[in-house]
Amino acid sequence: MESIGFGIIGLGRIGAFHANSLQNAVSGAHLVAATVDPDHRRMLQDSGAAPCPLEEDVDSLLARRDVEAVVVASPAVAHAEHITLAAAAGKPIFSEKPLADSVPKAELAANAVLAAGVPFQIGFQRRYDRGYARARELIAAGAIGDVEMFRGMSCDRLGPIEFLRTSGGIFMDLASHDFDAARFLTGEEITEVFAVGAVLIEPELETFDDVDHAIVLLRFANGALGVVQESWRAPYGYDIRAEVHGNKGKVIAEVDEKYPTVLYDSRGKVSERHDQFVERFSDAYQAELQAFVDALHAGAPPTPGIEDALQTMRVAAAATTSRRENRWVSVSDA
Ligand SMILES: NC(=O)c1ccc[n+]([C@@H]2O[C@H](COP(=O)([O-])OP(=O)(O)OC[C@H]3O[C@@H](n4cnc5c(N)ncnc54)[C@H](O)[C@@H]3O)[C@@H](O)[C@H]2O)c1
């Protein structure tokens, strides 16, 4: 089967990881070119570190016939525009989360994808993590009975303030992974949220009404309850978990150790943790991209798709409103 040529929009932390996957790990695809902003392009060219041809802008990338599919890995604020352009060009799209930085922009992007009929996958890689995937299998097979409670947590390092300014905020950038995990693991829609937040690390976040710590209460369509806990502080290493309780048991996805090894010494019991998301989820990032490429070759719809992207976006927007207005917000109102 022919290899599919990919273009990448945005060659930053995650774009560079996807570029490497397309060059070295994903079968049935190859990297053709990437686009970055002017400053970044200059830096890459000067350092000789560009892993592929760098196109002038998104239009010229999309105009290439050998770019048959795209990865959108630009900042969240630009996702809707880049998805819309790629859809209009008829290119299948793998987009990093979140779908956009607001619901109206997310709806425009979704409409463009649906109108063009191009395959679309959103980058919620936890669905392709072995621990999360196995947890979902167990829950779907009835291993814990009826789902009654969800608990999700993400603790990560605070990124550069310029990244945070264009990220859509903690609920769209960080918590969206947990909202998607909640929907994926429980198989239930989140209907209502109540969010609180605090600025405990970076006062500059207040200038654009964001927070660095947050807790979100969730209500699910089947009556189950949930809580999601977010922090831009992880001094001991990247820390993410999910726990789902049912009337017959519970399942936990929590495989955070860097090595399956525990050291016992004068400090007691020591196990090393992953430092960054690219370490913790390297297999899942490659697996999600491989699944996208496989779906394109098979002519099957990739997953999670545009409806998942939009629904999780609405949950994140509802949490943002809830935190700002200090009230329960229905996801259908977001
Ligand atoms: N799935 C995950 O776990 C995960 C992890 C990290 C990042 N992400 C998501 O990926 C996206 C990018 O995050 P990042 O950490 O790589 O950010 P980053 O700042 O490191 O990289 C962004 C890249 O986009 C480029 N860029 C900026 N504006 C652009 C424009 N208008 N057109 C084209 N390119 C532009 C920048 O030059 C840079 O190369 C964000 O939406 C983020 O939420 C997802």
> Rounded CA gap, 147 and 22, in Å?
38
Cβ-contact 152, 242 below 8 angstroms: yes
Q: Percent of the chain scored above 90 by pLDDT?
A: 84
Q: How much is the CA Rg of the chain, to the nearest whole Å?
A: 20
What is the domain partition of the chain in residue ranges?
A: 4-125+284-305, 129-276+312-333
177-192 mean pLDDT = 98
Question: 193 C-alpha to center of ligand 1: Å?
Answer: 27
When pLDDT is cut at 50, 70 and 90, the band that residue 168 belongs to is very high
Which helix (H) or strand (E) element contains residue 94? strand 93-95
Question: 242 C-alpha to center of ligand 1: Å?
Answer: 25
Q: Which residue has the tokens 């022919």?
A: 2
CATH 3.30.360.10 fits 129-276+312-333, yes or no: yes
Cβ-contact 28, 293 below 8 angstroms: yes
**Which pair of structure tokens corresponds to residue 245?**
């309780």
Q: Is the CB of 40 under 6 A from ligand 1?
A: yes
Identify the pLDDT of residue 40: 76
Q: Which residue has the tokens 């793998």?
A: 94
Q: Is the CB of 81 under 6 A from ligand 1?
A: no
DSSP 8-state secondary structure symbol assigned to residue 6? E
Conformation bin of residue 332: beta by default, left when phi > 0, alpha when psi is -120 to 50: alpha
Helix and strand element counts for the chain (H, E): 12, 15
Identify the pLDDT of residue 49: 65
160-174 mean pLDDT = 96
70-80 confidence digits (pLDDT tens): 999 999 999 99
Amino acid sitting at position 295: A
Q: Is the CB of 226 under 6 A from ligand 1?
A: no
Does residue 272 have a pLDDT over 90?
Answer: no
Class of CATH domain 4-125+284-305 = alpha beta
Identify the pLDDT of residue 6: 98
Question: Atom of ligand 1 at shortest distance to CA of 14?
Answer: 16
278-310 confidence digits (pLDDT tens): 888 999 999 999 999 999 999 999 999 999 999
Identify the pLDDT of residue 50: 64
When pLDDT is cut at 50, 70 and 90, the band that residue 48 belongs to is low
Range scoring the smallest mean pLDDT among 28-42, 174-188, 227-241, 305-319:
28-42
Q: Is the CB of 163 under 6 A from ligand 1?
A: yes
Which helix (H) or strand (E) element contains residue 270? strand 268-270
- Four-residue CA torsion sign, 90, 104, 15, 52: positive
pTM of the model: 0.95
Q: Is the CB of 127 under 6 A from ligand 1?
A: no
When pLDDT is cut at 50, 70 and 90, the band that residue 255 belongs to is low
When pLDDT is cut at 50, 70 and 90, the band that residue 28 belongs to is very high
DSSP 8-state secondary structure symbol assigned to residue 273? B
Cβ-contact 6, 68 below 8 angstroms: yes
**Which pair of structure tokens corresponds to residue 159?**
């990124």
79-89 confidence digits (pLDDT tens): 999 999 999 99
